[in-house]
A and B are shown apart, each in its own frame.
Chain A
Amino acid sequence: MEVIRLVNQLRKCEDDVFQVWLCRMRKAGYSDSPGMNRREFCKRFDSVMSALEEVYRSPQKTPFARPDGVPHIFAKEIIEELSPGKNGGLDLELFLVYFKTMISCIEDRIPGINLTSEQTTDAVLKLRKIADLTEMHAIADWKRYRTVESGTIKGPPAQTTSEKILGAIFMSVGDGILLVDEDYEIVKANQRSCEIYGLPQQNIIGTDIRSLAEDTGAELLTQYFEELIEGQRKSAEITCLYVDGKSFPATVTVTRSDFDGKRHWPIIVRDDTSRKALEMQLRQEKQQTEEMNMTLKTVMKSIEQDRKDFENRVAAKISTSLLPSLKKIEKAPEANVRKSYLALLEEQLVSLTTGFEKELDAGLLKLTRTEIEVCKLIQAGCSSKDICEAMSLSFDTIQTHRKNIRRKLALNGKKLNLHAFLMNRNL
């Protein structure tokens, strides 16, 4: 299935992804940091892949849409896999840098896989959601790991842990991260969130988070702040406001994390403008296809209608003109009267065929059935001999037919051969 193909393809380029990742990490100034080796990378990569498989396999189990915000177990697996305790002293800041860089390296690979654009968007979204959850957990669980492992990890004393959490949140790039206090004021904001809202640090700090969203979004945030219990998280799509008053779609993931005896809400903000644009494009393409189908249907219908009209016209002609003429011929006593009726009938028949792509020849109508048969064979390019065989008639008979046909078609004395004449006629 598609999913297996996607994940397999991604797994196949694991080595490449690792190299790109290493390169980017070095560029960012991390060269010999702990855990920056292939073995650790593969572990992280693997668990993201399994998570991806999991999300695809059982979409209904994914936690993202669930109102209670309790995450599904696989997110925890990644955390445990990547937990600072197991990595022997890898701190949260490094972890976030490693992890985020890796996710963006993987994401860059997805468009290279031969998927429909819809599938691509879907895969990217799924990957990002996994990343989001993992990150939230990493930050939220950090404290727990730190206390569990405090005997083994050298580092600043316990009371600066909360500063450390803030520092790490603050450091991590990629998505906007805000920390909101009990007055709903932003007390920490990373560089990306500044860019998302178009406000410098100095302005965004101290701003009421609700003033950065449109009314319904602001209400929803207030509701989250009131409802969330510690450690719980909720996610929603809301409309936010850029500094120039323009609104943009964003996904906010709010969690609650209490420290220093106060409630705080770390919020991850993602600007969905480009995702929405992509979705919009997909929707438009779909709509276009639908419109095309509709047009085709109408065309088919009108062709059908034309055909019916034509049949009606023929039927009407037959009953109004042909049948009465035939009756008259039947009754006409004199040969030359009959003849003139016959001429009339011929005319009617010809007029009946107007509208045909190729109009019938008056001459062709005069041919007998056998003669028409002969014509068809001539038209098909048969020699007289072939025709004799095909019709089981003698050569002479065929020659007589040919003569009669030429006469009826008024070709006598002309240099045109029968085959050429018949080429474009309807028989």
Chain B
Amino acid sequence: MWDEEYDVVIIGSGFAGLSAAIEARRLCSSVVVLEKMAVPGGNSIISGGLFAAAGSPLQAQENIDDSPELMLADMLAAGHDFNHRDLAGIVAEKSAETLQWTIDELGVKYRPKLSHLGGHSVPRTYNTANTSGSGIIRPMLVKCREMDIPIRLKTFLSQLITDESGAIEGVAVIEDYIFPNRESGIGKRIRAKRAVVMAAGGFSQDKKFRAIQNPMLTEDIECTNHRGATAESLIIALKAGAIPVQLSMIQLGPWASRDEEGFGVGSMFSMLAGFPYGILIDLRTGERFVNEQADRKLLVDAMLNFDRESIAIVDEMGVRHASTLEKCLKRGVVRKFDTIEELAIANQAPLIPLKATINAYNALIEKGRDDQFGKPLPKDLLPLKHPPYYSIRLISKVHYCMGGIQINTRAQIIRIDTQQPIGRFYAAGEIVGGIHGASRLGSNAITDCIVFGRIAGGNAANEPPRP
């Protein structure tokens, strides 16, 4: 009946899946990671590598007062209190120790400076040294190799197999799978002696499924995710009795560039320089219209309102914070101008109102006044008057699924009819719903994935083995 057997079977090779694997392997002898794509890492390896932690060493160094309580409060504010508090609380609580784990256990290298992302009360975001999620995924893959955890690529979970009691006993997979061709590959059954962990990520690329959840997200809206971010694993989990949570809450990224596909290199430019150190302009009016440091949902709503076409402008001082500047310039995603006049002409923005907007913004900073849109203006923020100037053309792209399946604080998946955990079945990462409520704050996903990935992996490995 079974072709193979492992203690723990993990679906997905992103942050959640790999942390679960590493944690599980310390406690039991055989762990396998199944990945449907031809390369490992899912959304995680292409992500920006921004990691939020409350009470971190860099915060201590920079004298920034932060706490898990404050981080939780920020999460709830952005999430409009749709968050499942107990789960969100664990993410905030364990954020700093999990960051430390990536440093001590995996040897992840971070830049020595924190970033302040929109919606966070204080700077609490670490940047990986190579400004990419691969800066964390690679060390995780190295660790897996050292720990003898096979990562089986092109292996697609097609079905869950339950025992008489309704607990998960194994998985049916298709090997040599060529995404997204359902006809490809060969079937096999793998038994999980202890448990199965679902870490299959979100479904932002699943145009049909996301439009069912939120009809406003039509096919023509672009997406930042990897091709494999589709809904089939979520559906498999739902079929097994999992509870769907807030599936319609799908986040768009306000910072993506019109001039490249996907997340590209422009998104990080806006996130790290354009929004915090620059201004966001409506091209038709030449005026600001929103707090550039608001959380993503507010930004996207404001940008989509009235069919606005927006650009972000930042000056020479501000771009120093942009880790991807060179690549942006090379690819024509960000353009550089000696004067505001040239910038206005190239972007077809009305010059007089634009100059007025910049002058007014600079005056706020110089005179220490409050911004009408509520943008925080920290002491070290400089007025926009150091040429050359840089601009990026923005468009919102589908980015992240807050919704997913329900888990409890032990990362067990809950059954819809009994409200009890499904036996030997765990989940972590973007496939889980409810942690971030209506809107996820930037850099909180990595924290969430690794915190719950480790919890899921540990608990899965601690299940008593089946005979």
- CB–CB B45/A245 < 8 A: no
Number of chain B residues whose Cβ lies closer than 8 Å to a Cβ of chain A: 23
- CB–CB B262/A202 < 8 A: yes
B142 interface residue (CB < 8 Å to A): yes
Number of chain A residues whose Cβ lies closer than 8 Å to a Cβ of chain B: 14
A198 and B226 contact, Cβ closer than 8 Å, known pairs A203-B46, A243-B141: no
Within the assembled complex, what's the spacing in Å between the Cα atoms of A244 and B144? 8
- CB–CB B265/A243 < 8 A: no
| Stretch among B22-30, B35-43, B166-174, B348-356 lining the A interface | B35-43
Q: How far is the CB of A268 from chain B (nearest CB, A)?
A: 19
Selected A-B contacts with CB under 8 Å, 22 pairs: A183-B330, A198-B40, A199-B134, A200-B39, A200-B46, A200-B226, A202-B226, A202-B262, A202-B264, A203-B45, A203-B46, A203-B132, A206-B327, A243-B41, A243-B134, A243-B137, A243-B138, A244-B144, A245-B138, A245-B142, A245-B145, A246-B145
A47 interface residue (CB < 8 Å to B): no
Within the assembled complex, what's the spacing in Å between the Cα atoms of A194 and B39? 7
- CB–CB B142/A191 < 8 A: no
Question: Does more than half of chain A's interface fall in helix, strand or loop, or is it mixed?
Answer: loop
Q: How far is the CB of A198 from chain B (nearest CB, A)?
A: 5
A195 interface residue (CB < 8 Å to B): yes
B263 interface residue (CB < 8 Å to A): yes
* B contacts, CB < 8 Å to A: 37-41, 45-46, 132, 134, 137-138, 141-142, 144-145, 151, 226, 262-265, 327, 330
A202 and B145 contact, Cβ closer than 8 Å, known pairs A195-B39, A243-B138: no
- CB–CB A198/B39 < 8 A: yes
Which chain B residues border A245 with CB–CB below 8 Å?
A: 138, 141-142, 145
A194 and B38 contact, Cβ closer than 8 Å, known pairs A202-B46, A202-B263, A243-B138: yes
Q: Which of A194, A199, A244 has the most chain B CB atoms closer than 10 A to its own CB?
A: A244
Q: How far is the CB of A363 from chain B (nearest CB, A)?
A: 72
Contacting residue for A203 out of B134, B151, B330, CB 8 A = B134
Within the assembled complex, what's the spacing in Å between the Cα atoms of A191 and B39? 10
Contact flags A174-201 to B (C-beta < 8 A → 1, else 0): 0000000001000000010011001110
- CB–CB A244/B138 < 8 A: yes
Q: Which 5 A-B pairs have the closest CB atoms?
A: A244-B141, A202-B46, A245-B142, A195-B38, A244-B145
Which chain A residues border B132 with CB–CB below 8 Å?
A: 203
Known: A194-B39, A206-B327, A246-B145. 4 other contacts (CB 8 A): A203-B134, A243-B134, A245-B142, A245-B145
Which chain B residues border A191 with CB–CB below 8 Å?
A: 38
Which chain A residues border B134 with CB–CB below 8 Å?
A: 199, 203, 243
Q: How far is the CB of A67 from chain B (nearest CB, A)?
A: 34
Within the assembled complex, what's the spacing in Å between the Cα atoms of A203 and B43? 11
Residue of chain A at shortest CB distance from B228:
A200
- CB–CB A243/B39 < 8 A: yes
Which chain A residues border B327 with CB–CB below 8 Å?
A: 206
Within the assembled complex, what's the spacing in Å between the Cα atoms of A203 and B141? 15
Within the assembled complex, what's the spacing in Å between the Cα atoms of A198 and B46? 12
Residue of chain B at shortest CB distance from A204:
B39
- CB–CB B45/A199 < 8 A: yes
Contacting residue for A244 out of B37, B46, B142, CB 8 A = B142
Q: How far is the CB of A216 from chain B (nearest CB, A)?
A: 21
Residue of chain B at shortest CB distance from A199:
B39
Within the assembled complex, what's the spacing in Å between the Cα atoms of A206 and B144? 26
Which chain B residues border A244 with CB–CB below 8 Å?
A: 40, 138, 141-142, 144-145, 151
Which chain B residues border A246 with CB–CB below 8 Å?
A: 145
A206 and B138 contact, Cβ closer than 8 Å, known pairs A194-B39, A243-B40: no
Residue of chain A at shortest CB distance from B151:
A244
Which chain B residues border A198 with CB–CB below 8 Å?
A: 39-40, 141
Which chain A residues border B46 with CB–CB below 8 Å?
A: 200, 202-203
Residue of chain A at shortest CB distance from B38:
A195
- CB–CB B265/A206 < 8 A: yes
- CB–CB B138/A200 < 8 A: no
Within the assembled complex, what's the spacing in Å between the Cα atoms of A244 and B41? 11
Cβ < 8 Å to B, chain A residues 33-72: none
Within the assembled complex, what's the spacing in Å between the Cα atoms of A243 and B151? 12
